[in-house]
Amino acid sequence: MTSNSTIINMTISTVTNSVGIIEVIIAKFVNYLPLLFVILGLTGFVGNVSTYLQRELRSNTCCIYSLCGSFADIIHILLNLFANYLKLSHGISAPWLGLTYLCPLQMMSLGFFPHLSLNFLLMAVIDRYASTCRLTSRINRINQLKMVPFCIIITILTSCLASIRSLILYEYRNTSGCTITKPLTNTLLYIFINGLMQPTLMFIFVMLTFRNVRKSRQQVAPISRNTIPNTYRRSRNRFITMIFAQILTTALLSLQLTIMFSLIYIF
């Protein structure tokens, strides 16, 4: 009996030590996860800038919107993600994180820049849809370079309106810090605006684009098809595929965040 008890105690001790080691490894990995996102974000930003600023693409309106979205992403990564990583992991606090009266503005920036990035991606999708419409259609004006500044301003204002809830629903308290005053309202607004509205609009315009492309292929005569170089077709198809893959990835990430917010409120 004594030997059995000793073996059981040794087994329990071994399991406990193993669980403790796994928890330490997971904690270390989670702590360095934001740094990994920063490195990947910087790498993607450099790649996007070098791609979209090429001579053949810099005057393309869709590429301009995608480039603006990349700038919104890198600002969010450096201003929010990297700053919070330095504060939590190394105790290095950015000046703006210590200003209590900027609490609502800080929380607004956490939602504003990701929403702005998705909004620019949505504009790129709308631009691709407009390029497949008839030349007499009014939406075709979006493809004109002179419309880009106007569309950028509208996109920024829309993201400001979508994120302004943080200025109203957050406040600084001495006991709990930056605190949300109405969790249910914030959760419902986030699920509707960020989790449902943007991915739904992207999906709608993607389907409309596919519909227009199919119609144009059916209407074009075989002789006209042969006059279009195959290299141009392949490059155009690759570009559209890249945009749609980005949309699908973004929609899946938005869905995960929506589920997370829902579970946090439910439980």
Position 212 pLDDT exceeds 90: no
pLDDT band at 249 (very low <50, low <70, confident <90, very high): low
Q: Can you tell me the mean pLDDT for 234-247?
A: 63
Of the listed ranges 1-10, 94-103, 214-223, the least confidently predicted one is: 1-10
Distance between CA atoms of 245 and 237, rounded to whole angstroms? 12
pLDDT range class, residue 47, cuts 50, 70, 90 = confident
Q: Return the closest-CA partner of residue 162 out of 110, 203, 211.
A: 110
Instruction: Supply φ then ψ for residue 56, to 5 degrees.
Output: -75, -20
The predicted model gives 55-62 an average pLDDT of 85
Specify whether the CB–CB gap between 216 and 87 falls below 8 A: no
pLDDT surpasses 60 at 182: yes
Q: Is the pLDDT of residue 82 over 70?
A: yes
Mean pLDDT of 190-198: 81
Confidence band of 68 (pLDDT split at 50, 70, 90):
very high
Q: Would you say the pTM of this structure is higher than 0.85? A: no
* Residue 18 pLDDT > 50: no
Strand-pair partners of 173: 177
DSSP state, 228?
Answer: S
- Say what the pLDDT of residue 65 is: 92
Note the pLDDT of residue 119. Answer: 92
Three-state SS at 172: strand
pLDDT in the model for residue 223: 47
Are 101 and 178 in contact, with CB atoms under 8 Å apart?
no
Spans of all domains in the chain: 2-266
Residue 163 has pLDDT above 60, yes or no: yes
Say what the pLDDT of residue 264 is.
47
Q: What is the pLDDT of residue 191?
A: 79
Q: What average pLDDT does the chain have?
A: 74
Q: Is 252 or 83 the better-scoring residue by pLDDT?
A: 83
The packing angle between helices 61-76 and 2-52, to 10°, is: 140
Tokens 């939590």, residue located: 88
- Classified as helix, coil or strand, 55 is coil
45 backbone φψ class: left, alpha, beta (φ>0; ψ -120 to 50): alpha
Residue 231 has pLDDT above 90, yes or no: no
pLDDT of residue 266: 46
Pick the residue with more confidence: 253 or 197? Answer: 197
With respect to CATH, is domain 2-266 assigned 1.20.1070.10? yes
C-alpha angle with apex 41: 37 to 44, nearest 5 degrees?
Answer: 140
